[in-house]
């Protein structure tokens, strides 16, 4: 899937990945997609919750050896 912006939040602990995602999404237009990398175990819960609360769509969530990848469409 294509995306419009990328955020590398690896090495950051809760709540920083979500806070950085919120700030990065503010710069995007509605409908644009952010690809975010995170390795904080809490992000698996925090990112979907953030998307629901903020009105964004979590398009995909995948695990790799080093991080999780989230694709978030700005609401």
Q: Which one of 14, 58, 69, 71 is the catalytic residue?
A: 14
Q: Are strands 33-38 and 5-8 parallel, antiparallel or unpaired?
A: parallel
CA–CA distances in Å: residue 45 to residues 4, 17, 30, 51, 62: 24, 12, 23, 10, 13
Q: How far apart are CA 3 and CA 46, in angstroms?
A: 21
14 labelled catalytic? yes
The catalytic site residues sit at 14
């Amino acid at each position: 899937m294509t995306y419009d912006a990328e955020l590398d939040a690896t090495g950051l602990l809760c709540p920083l990945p979500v806070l950085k995602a919120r700030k990065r999404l503010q710069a995007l237009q509605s409908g644009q997609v952010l690809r975010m990398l995170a390795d904080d175990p809490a992000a698996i819960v925090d990112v979907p919750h953030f998307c629901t609360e903020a009105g964004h769509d979590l398009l995909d969530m995948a695990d790799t050896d080093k991080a999780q990848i989230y694709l978030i469409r700005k609401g």
